[in-house]
Amino acid sequence: MSTDSEKGDILLEMRDIRIDGFSDERWHEIIKGVDLTLHRGEVLGLIGESGAGKSTLGKAAMGFAQPGCKIKSGSIMFDGLDLASMPEKEKRKLWGSRMAYVAQSAAASFNPAHRLIDQTVEATVGHDINPTEAAKQDAVQLYESLQLPDPDTIGERYPHQVSGGQLQRVMTAMAMSPRPDLIIFDEPTTALDVTTQVEVLVAMRDIVDRFNTAAIYITHDLAVVAQMADKIKVLRYGEEVEEAETRKMLSKPEAEYTKSLWSVRSLEKPEETSDDTVLSIKNVDAAYGNSIKVLHDVSINLPRGKTVAVVGESGSGKSTTARVITGLLPPIGGTVEFNGEPLPAALKQRSKEQLRKIQMIYQMADTAMNPRQTVADIIGRPLEFYHGIKGAARDKRVAELLDMIELDNTFLDRFPGEMSGGQKQRICIARALAAEPEIIICDEVTSALDQIVQEGILRLLLRLQKEFNITYLFITHDIAVVKAISDEIVVMNQGEVVEQGLKSEIFAPPYPDYTKLLLSSVPEMDPDWLDQLLAEREG
């Protein structure tokens, strides 16, 4: 991170920005007179809850209003150019050349039909910044600087042939290829495990420093922004709460709201034990296709009414284990027993009652719900399918389920697009509860949520577990979430269980090497943490 004396001239200056969004058949003001100044080579962290306006403001810095929004007033000066009044045709000459955007979901941002190298250089070649072969040679050097494996050949792969962390680094290379003056990083590490996140943070920071690129880093992770930003701006409800240099903001925030953000991760569940096992995974092997074996002799017990957290890097086998339990991926060896009885391996072989008792909540609520169905239909569907409840009885039960998840009847006629991320995840929880399951598998259900909303979801899950004696299998890469919700922990690496036990046992030193790596990779709210970690590992 740069110091004040190292900052260059002002690159971006936004004054009294007001942006409207269209919903409920009318326009609402969602950015309410915000100012922003960014120098060359400087990184500004934008933080705040879901709906604060972080992404909307970040895109507006490029003179861009996302669908359903319009920049109503204010000035946006980029290196002397007035983006607010510039025709879109002229702005398109800047987008992808002098300005770049790195999205949260790398997987959704690549064309699956084209090789990575071709997509990396597309903007550079299209804007006549470099001819194709020179751009490709430069892309290979960027891959190497971003510590991607096999930089000479990885570009020949397709998006589905690399991991999430690798794809995120390729997207950073794509953004850097034209050597832009400004990059907008929009939650670029949210979906990554902690060890991959460290690699991506180091790579992004090095690239920004090397090319003196200015950046706006949008995130809800305070510890991550502490490693990346020179200064931090806090937003709430489309308004600025405060802005300060990073160290000052972390040590002495002035606004009460900012102080509440700093103290939100205080939730930690006391562990509980139980000898009553509801589900046992016994010596399970699993594979995709005939040759790619991904689970090796996995054995896990789920105590009734408790929470088992499964942690590990991307590709460790966490989600594959969930797919085996639900029958989506029949194992090639071993068994899954539910209440002492073997479960049929494949989903289609299971009875409706067996399906009802094991439910799943997914990471991305957006893609887990039909955007054309109302909340009443989304929650009502399992009531009809599993219990045969229809008509007025169904409506009454849907209302009861909404009350359980702390939402009211005004949500009944809403569509997913009319709700916040936290509200949508609560609806997914209600849908799972509608089946009245004994086990709920939670697959990264809080990773896309800001920390205040995340804490609310975790408290809700803990309350529901206590009320209904539900067993949770909680898949996550967030160690703070593990501390908040788990009784027992399973650590997986490369398809194997490398450690399991009570939370107090797993978090007590001395640690096995892999567990130590995971724990040491959890960012801390200390601007020096990343540098100290790298120094320790190099030493």
- SS3 state at 108: coil
CA 55 to centroid of chain Cα atoms: 14
- Containing 122, the helix (H) or strand (E) segment is helix 122-126
One-letter amino acid for residue 410 of the chain: T
Is-contact 76 82, C-beta < 8 A? yes
| Residue with the two structure tokens 């998006």 | 159
> Minimal CA–CA distance to 280: which of 195, 225, 240, 338?
338
Measured distance CA(486)–CA(271) in Å, rounded: 7
The predicted pLDDT at position 86 comes to 95
pLDDT value at residue 125: 95
Residue whose token pair is 């090639």: 332
Chain center to CA of 56: 18
DSSP string, 238-304: TEEEEEEEHHHHHH---SHHHHHHHT-----PPP---S-EEEEEEEEEEEETTTEEEEEEEEEEEET
Output the six-digit token pair for 5: 């004396």
Q: What is the pLDDT of residue 5?
A: 42
Alpha carbons 226 and 1: distance in angstroms, whole number: 10
Global pTM reads 0.80
**Distance from C-alpha of 460 to C-alpha of 458, rounded to nearest angstrom:** 5
Query: How many Å apart are CA 81 and CA 98, to the nearest integer?
Result: 12
Please give the torsion angle defined by the CA atoms of residues 206, 207, 208 and 210, in that order, rounded to the nearest 10 degrees.
80
Query: Which residues, other chains included, contact 269 with Cβ-Cβ below 8 Å and sequence gap of 6+?
Result: 307, 462, 483, 484, 485, 486, 487
Of 20, 72, 79, 30, the C-alpha closest to 50 is: 30
DSSP secondary structure of 366-425: HHHS-TTS-HHHHHHHHHHHHH---HHHHHHHHHHHHHHTT--GGGTT--GGGS-HHHHH
Task: At 280, give phi and psi (nearest 5°).
Answer: -125, 125
DSSP conformation letters of 214-244: EEEEE-S-HHHHHHH-SEEEEEETTEEEEEE
Q: What angle do CA 272, 278, 284 make, to 5 degrees?
A: 110
**Token output for 72:** 């109503």
Nearest to 433 by CA among 502, 484, 361: 361
- Token representation of residue 216: 């706006």
Residue type, 113: A
- Residue position matching structure tokens 């879109």: 88
Bridge partners for 47 per DSSP? 234
Can you list the domains of the chain with their CATH numbers? 42-64+88-262 (3.40.50.300), 277-372+437-508 (3.40.50.300)
List, run by run, the mean pLDDT of 10-residue segments along the chain (539 residues).
62 96 84 96 91 91 91 95 94 94 82 96 95 96 88 93 83 93 89 81 86 92 90 95 95 90 75 94 90 91 97 87 95 96 96 96 85 95 96 96 92 88 90 97 84 85 95 90 93 95 94 91 89 86
Beta bridge partners of 20: 29, 70
Q: What is the pLDDT of residue 68?
A: 85
The secondary structure of 72-87, three-state, reads EEEEEEECCEECCCCC
Could you tell me if 335 and 295 are in contact, meaning their C-beta atoms sit under 8 angstroms apart? no
Determine the pLDDT at residue 264.
58
| Enclosing H/E stretch for 482 | helix 479-485
Residues 6+ away with beta carbon under 8 Å from 250: 226, 232, 262, 525, 526, 527
Structure tokens at 183: 């990059």
Judged by phi (left if over 0) then psi (alpha if -120 to 50, else beta), residue 33 lies in: left
- What pLDDT, on the 0 to 100 scale, is given for residue 190? 75
- DSSP secondary structure code for residue 95 in this structure: B
Alpha-carbon distance values, 529 to 83, 98, 228, 520 (Å): 37, 31, 11, 10
